[in-house]
Amino acid sequence: MELDLSVEIAGLKLKNPVMNASGTYDPLRYESLVDPNLLGAVVLKSLTLNPREGNPPPRIVEVACGIVNSIGIQNEGVEEFIKVKVPLLRKFKEATFIASVAGLTPNEFAEVVEALEGVDIFKAYEINTSCPNLEKGGVNCALDERCIQQVTKAVRGKTNKPVIVKLAPDVTDIVAIAKVAVDAGADALTIANTYRALVVDLKSRKPILHNVTGGLSGPAIKPITLRLVYEVVKALDVPVIASGGITSANDALEYLLVGAKAVQIGTMNFVRHDIMIKIIEGIKKFMVDEGIKDIKEFIGTLRT
C-alpha cells in the first residue's frame, strides 16, 4: 500500500509530520546518524542577534522523568551563523529548514528575522518566546500576553514566510495566549516548550543548576502537553506543532490524533540518535496496520 505521510502547515509542505525540537539535533554533526533529508523539517538551534555564551555550568541534570536544562540559548549569533553554517547546510538538498529565532526585546526578534530573510534555505521561522532559562526577557515574554503580541507583530512585519510561535506550557490559559499570538500574525503554533523546574542537592542544600531553575522535558510532560494541544486545536483554527515528551511512534500518533499537524522530538534525540527515523517508520507501520493511506485522514480524529 502506497502511503502518504505529507502534511501542510501554513502553506509549508512537509514530506512527513516528524521534525526535531530546536537545540536537540544538529544536522551538520549528526548527519551520519540521522539524514536530515528524511525528516519532515529540521528546526535549527535558536539564533540571537549577538553571540551568546549561554549559562554557566552545571546547566543540565537528569531526573527520574526526563532532564532539566538551563542552557541559555548558546549560539554564535545570526551574522556568524549565516557566514559559516548556511553554506554547509546547503548540501542537504531535500531538507526543509526552519530557523528558530530568539531575542531579549521585540525589536531584537525582528532584527534576527530581517537578517535571515536573505537566506533562501529557511522556509519558515519558529519564534522562541518561551525559552524559560534566561535571566531577563525570555521568561517574562513567554508568560506575558502583551509581550507575545509585540514580538509576533514585530516579526510578522519583517517576513511573508510562515511564522510559528513557540509557546510556554506553564501559563494560566494556553488558549488565551495562543489566541493573542494568532491575532498578532502567527501562522502556526508550537506547543509547547519546557516546564519551569527546580532540582536541588540535599547534601549541599543548593540548587544543582547554576541558574537555579531550568526547563523540564521528557516523558513526564507528555500527558500535560497533550492536553494543551487538544485545548488549542479545539478552540482555535490554527495549525499546531506538538512538542513534549515524545519517546515513540505511539506518542507522536497520540498528538496527531488530538489534532496536531506535526510533532517535534526533543529529549529522546539525546537518548537514541535514530529515534526520529524510528518514529517515522512506526507511523508507517501503524498506517499499514490500520489501513490508513493518508496520514491526513487520521489527524484530528479523536472521538469524544
> Does residue 118 have a known ligand-binding role?
no
> Does residue 211 have a known ligand-binding role?
no
Separation of alpha carbons 127 and 108, rounded Å: 12
- H-assigned helices in 53-191: 78-89, 106-116, 138-143, 145-156, 174-183
> Does residue 73 have a known ligand-binding role?
yes
> Does residue 71 have a known ligand-binding role?
yes
Tell me the Ramachandran region of residue 266: left when phi exceeds 0, alpha when psi lies from -120 to 50, beta otherwise.
Answer: alpha
> Does residue 304 have a known ligand-binding role?
no
> Does residue 245 have a known ligand-binding role?
yes
DSSP annotation of 297 reads: G
> Does residue 24 have a known ligand-binding role?
no
Separation of alpha carbons 167 and 39, rounded Å: 23
* Residues 55/211, Cβ–Cβ less than 8 Å: yes
Separation of alpha carbons 189 and 242, rounded Å: 8
* Residues 78/115, Cβ–Cβ less than 8 Å: yes
> Does residue 295 have a known ligand-binding role?
no
* Residues 142/194, Cβ–Cβ less than 8 Å: no
Pairing of strands 188-191, 163-167: parallel
Q: Is 261 helix (H, G, I), strand (E, B) or coil?
A: coil
Bridge partners, 264 (sequence order)? 19, 243
Separation of alpha carbons 275 and 138, rounded Å: 29
Instruction: Cite the active site residues.
Output: 131
> Does residue 193 have a known ligand-binding role?
yes
> Does residue 279 have a known ligand-binding role?
no
> Does residue 190 have a known ligand-binding role?
no
Length of the chain: 304
**CB neighbours of 297 closer than 8 A, spacing ≥ 6?**
none
User: Residue positions in the annotated binding site for FMN?
Assistant: 22, 45-46, 128, 166, 218, 244-245, 266-267
User: Residue positions in the annotated binding site for substrate?
Assistant: 45, 69-73, 128, 193-194
User: Residue positions in the annotated binding site?
Assistant: 22, 45-46, 69-73, 128, 166, 193-194, 218, 244-245, 266-267
